[in-house]
Amino acid sequence: MLDTDTITAISTPVGEGAIAIVRLSGPEAIAITSQIFEGKNLQEAPSHTIQYGKIIDPSTNEVAEEVMVSVMRAPKTFTREDVVEINCHGGMVAVNRVLEIILAKGVRLAEPGEFTKRAFLHGRIDLSQAEAVMDLIRAKTDKAMSVALKQMDGRLSKLIQKLRQELLETVAHVEVNIDYPEYDDVEEMSHAMMKEKSKEVRDELDKLLQIAQQGKILREGLSTAIIGRPNVGKSSLMNTLVQENKAIVTEIPGTTRDIIEEYVNVRGVPLRLVDTAGIRETEDIVERIGVDRSRQVLKESDLILFVLNYNEPLSEDDMKLFEAVDGLEYIVIINKTDLQQQLDLDKVREFAKERPVVTTALLEEQGVDELEKAIADTFFTGDIDTGDMTYVSNVRHIQLLKQAKQALEDAMEGIELGMPMDIVQIDVTRSWEFMGEIIGDTASDSLIDQLFSQFCLGK
Ligand code: GDP
Ligand code: ZN
């Protein structure tokens, strides 16, 4: 056995902020809870039942909290260990008190993701599912959270398993053909077969990778630069976005209290706004390093919010900024519409081409809704949020998918060059192995071992 101690943490279910839960997992979970619980005897409670009662603080013998306690016995639990969940009504203060009482009993505070780690180590979930949970723990917004949740479903695992199986079967067929040739052109046939399958699987991997790029953005947030001449309202814009879109911070199973990160969530789109220092830099970035270089810097942003002043005519600097953002993803924000118009709007629209142009008076909180809508539209036009897509949002997965795809392309090239089949198979096998790493099946068994166990070629 890998972990034998009992761990605990506050783990409030996703989307249910009002309920606070303390979870315990491990061999002592039920026994220790019994010692501080006043109510039915938990040691005798059937598995997967909920008991009403009170948590007593042993140091004072006072009632700390009224609770509902779920008792779940191994192995039919998330961690495959005995699990107890203590539902507290009294919010965070009460839940912290209960946690402290349990810690005082010698139970160890779980590390972030430790419940999930146990589930993986005990074979309850595969590696990609475990990683999805880890992503969930780090997920910055609702949207990123739902991506992680989908992956946890095992969608990615299932697809990867299917693709691996297809490669495996093709290799098996080819082996059989070569070992028991019915036709003279067996090598040619094998090549054709292998080429077709390699291409098919390669295309599937490619599709996954394209989606993965979007998944990655969701997980990490769109890096967003706010640019514009001094005094147009960049800081005001930043403040407005931060105030209106407080980052969602949810506590997730297995997390402890200290994981709090500030992020801006605009209608489901996570934005990583450049910090004030960064903004100050971009203010005169064109001046300082010229259009070409500043373009390079801006190119690294996923989205640019380009602020203009309604109260001033278009200046030389504004034109330079238009030049710098040309071809990039940006939104024009014409601010200070509460003041006298000096800006030529037709000209701005002409420069902005088909990019969105939004007018605001940030001082009076005007136009903020329209701006947020424009941000969301800009992002979701690639219909990223359809329900059935399989998302890959993990950097390690993306890397492995790329390697698996490359290996298949190597195989295809080998076939094109007329390489012998056993050489081509080395590349196909590599692809199969890379995909195996995604789902944690780095099995010491080689592809060929698997072949024999599955197809009994019986040589
Ligand atoms: P930055 O230099 O681009 O970051 O601009 P700031 O956000 O610091 O704003 C410069 C000044 O313009 C401040 O005094 C703001 O209060 C003011 N300001 C910002 N937005 C508006 C607006 O919509 N209308 C008016 N009249 N003033 C604004
Ligand atoms: Zn500023």
Main-chain dihedrals φ then ψ at residue 425, nearest 5 degrees: -65, -25
Helix ranges (DSSP H) in 79-185: 91-104, 114-121, 127-138, 142-152, 155-179
Q: Is 75 annotated as a binding residue?
A: no
The b-or-e profile of 222-246 (16+ CB within 10 A means b, else e) is bbbbbbbbeebbbebbbebbeeebe
Residues whose CB falls within 8 Å of the CB of residue 178, separated by 6 or more in sequence, listed in order:
186, 187, 190, 421
Q: Is 235 annotated as a binding residue?
A: yes
- Label the pairing between strands 222-227 and 49-57: unpaired
Q: What is the pLDDT of residue 141?
A: 54
* 230 C-alpha to ligand 2 centroid (Å): 7
* Residue 311 pLDDT greater than 90, yes or no: yes
Alpha-carbon distance of 376 to 369, in angstroms, equals 11
Q: What is the pLDDT of residue 389?
A: 43
What number does the ligand 1 atom closest to the CA of 335 have?
23
Alpha-carbon distance of 17 to 14, in angstroms, equals 7
> 152-215+394-455 and 222-380: same fold?
no
Residue nearest to atom 7 of ligand 1 (CA): 233
Of the listed ligands, the closest to the CA of 310 is: 1
Over residues 233-255, the mean pLDDT reads: 60
The first and second tokens of residue 44, run together, are 């005798």
Fold designation for 7-124: Gyrase A; domain 2 (3.30.1360)
Q: In which residue are the tokens 């598995």 written?
A: 47
Over residues 53-66, the mean pLDDT reads: 91
Q: What is the pLDDT of residue 217?
A: 60
* Residue 326 pLDDT greater than 60, yes or no: yes
Are 224 and 305 a contacting pair, CB within 8 Å? Answer: yes
Average pLDDT, whole number, for the chain? 77
Q: What is the pLDDT of residue 314?
A: 94
Residue nearest to atom 17 of ligand 1 (CA): 233
* 364 C-alpha to ligand 1 centroid (Å): 11
Q: What is the pLDDT of residue 241?
A: 84
Looking at domain 222-380, which CATH architecture does it have? Answer: 3-Layer(aba) Sandwich (3.40)
Confidence of residue 329 (pLDDT cuts 50, 70, 90): confident
Residue nearest to atom 6 of ligand 1 (CA): 233
Q: Which of 57-61, 128-132, 332-336 has the largest mean confidence?
A: 332-336
Residue nearest to atom 14 of ligand 1 (CA): 231
Are 299 and 333 a contacting pair, CB within 8 Å? Answer: no
pLDDT in tens, 164-206: 999 988 888 887 776 666 666 777 778 888 999 999 999 999 9
Residue nearest to atom 9 of ligand 1 (CA): 233
Q: Is 4 annotated as a binding residue?
A: no
* 271 C-alpha to ligand 1 centroid (Å): 22
Over residues 353-370, the mean pLDDT reads: 93
What number does the ligand 1 atom closest to the CA of 236 have?
7
Q: Tell me the CA distances in angstroms from 455 to 182, 237, 459, one per residue in order.
A: 19, 64, 11
16 versus 394: which is more confidently predicted? 394
Q: Is 459 annotated as a binding residue?
A: yes
Over residues 297-322, the mean pLDDT reads: 88
Instruction: Classify domain 152-215+394-455 at the CATH superfamily level.
Output: tRNA modification GTPase MnmE domain 2 (1.20.120.430)
Distance linking the first and last C-alpha atoms of the chain: 39
Kindly state the DSSP code that residue 125 receives in the 8-state scheme: S
Q: What is the pLDDT of residue 32?
A: 97
Task: Please classify residue 353 by burial: count the beta carbons closer than 10 Å to its beta carbon, then call 0-12 exposed, 13-18 middle and 19+ buried.
Answer: exposed
Residue of 305, 333, 362, 364 with the most ligand 1 atoms within 8 Å of its CB, for mutation: 362
Please report, rounded to a whole number, the percentage of residues in the chain having pLDDT higher than 90. 31
Q: Is 199 annotated as a binding residue?
A: no
Q: What is the pTM of this model?
A: 0.48
pLDDT in tens, 260-307: 234 577 776 777 775 433 334 444 555 555 556 667 667 777 788 999
* Residue 385 pLDDT greater than 60, yes or no: no
> For the chain, which residues make up each domain, given as ranges?
7-124, 152-215+394-455, 222-380
pLDDT in tens, 85-119: 998 876 666 777 898 899 889 998 887 667 877 77
pLDDT in tens, 420-433: 888 898 999 999 98
Are 168 and 450 a contacting pair, CB within 8 Å? Answer: yes
Q: Which helix (H) or strand (E) holds 237?
A: helix 234-244
Q: What is the pLDDT of residue 183?
A: 62
Residues whose CB falls within 8 Å of the CB of residue 384, separated by 6 or more in sequence, listed in order:
214, 218
Confidence of residue 25 (pLDDT cuts 50, 70, 90): very high
The binding-site residues of ligand 1, defined as CB within 6 angstroms of any ligand atom, are: 228, 230-236, 335-336, 338-339, 361-363
Q: Is 255 annotated as a binding residue?
A: yes
What number does the ligand 1 atom closest to the CA of 360 have?
23
pLDDT in tens, 215-233: 656 656 677 888 888 888 8
